Amino acid sequence: MPRELSTAIVELARDDVPAMIERKLDAGEDPLAILAECREGMTRVGERFQAGDYYLAELLLSAEIFKAAVARLAPHLPDTDGDRPVGKVILATMRGDIHDLGKNILATLLRAHAFEVHDLGVNVEPAELVEKVREIRPEFVGLSVLITTAFRSMQEACRLLEEAGLRDSLRLMIGGGVTTPELEEWVGADFQTQDAAAGVAYCVERVGEA
């Protein structure tokens, strides 16, 4: 029995996945169904991570495989409702910090779970974040941080969201190696983690409630 596409992703078979997708497309399979298989693979990778069988390295590798799969499938995917996102997320590293490794991992994992992700990049001004929230109306905002000099701009972003009347309509997440539960409270966030997979789990669990 041939190996399933989702299993190839779980096994991190980077060189096999593109050929499997190609064969499926050639056979006339629905690109949305192929994408769903890829997402299933990512879900299983996440489960292995939560169980402690996989590490961040394997999350990274699977995310790269998934990105390449989506790029290959993109020309075949419909523009509209067929792949409607389950939710919208804005991600940013705030003013004072230019690090983006954790944010980029989270973005890829969220996309693999069918979220629409708007990545504002690094060194982002709080006012810019607020404008984007006003425009996109996301269910989640995630602020990534590696160095403490961005703490104040994270807190400022939360305050500006409140002043703009936008704070109650979303869940604010913070993540990164220097974050702590105390920082979550200080910033005024709803969730804190050092673990990208936990961030994804939070979004998946809460998306219907936001």
Partner 1 sequence: MNTMKETMTPDERLWAAIRLERPDRVPVLPGLLPEPAATLSGVSQAQIAGNIETAVNAVFRVFDAYGGWENPYPASYTPLQLQASGIFPLPMRIPGVDLADDVPYQLEEVELLVPEDYETLAELGFERFYYDDFLWRIGNLERDELPGVQTAMARGGGLFLQECAKRETRPFFLASSLHPFFMLSLMRSMVRFTEDLYYAPEPVERAIERMTADLIATQLDFAKQSGIDIWLLTEERASCFFFPPVVFERFWWPYTRRIVEAFWAEGIVTLFHLDTSWDKNLPYFKELPRGSAILELDGNTDIIAAKELLRGHLCLKGDVPAALLSIGKVEEVEAYCHKLIDQVGSGGGFILSSGCSVPANVRPENFRALIETGKRHASS
**Residues 161, 144, 197, 73, CA torsion sign:** positive
**Nearest distance, CB of residue 196 and partner 1, angstroms:** 12
Fill in the DSSP letter of residue 9. Answer: H
The residue among 43 and 123 lying less far from partner 1, judged by its C-beta, is 123
Q: How far is the CB of 178 from partner 1 (least distance, A)?
A: 5
Closest to partner 1 by CB, 29 vs 64, is: 64
Residue 1 vs 57, nearer CB to partner 1: 57
Query: DSSP assignment of 137-180, as one string?
Result: --SEEEEE-SSGGGHHHHHHHHHHHHHTT-GGGSEEEEESTT--
Closest to partner 1 by CB, 64 or 131:
64
Burial class (CB in 10 A: 0-12, 13-18, 19+), 55: exposed
Least Å distance, CB 160 to partner 1, is 19
In the complex, the residues that contact partner 1 under the rule CB under 8 A are 12, 14-15, 54-58, 60-61, 64, 96-99, 101, 123, 147-149, 151-152, 177-180, 182-183, 186, 194
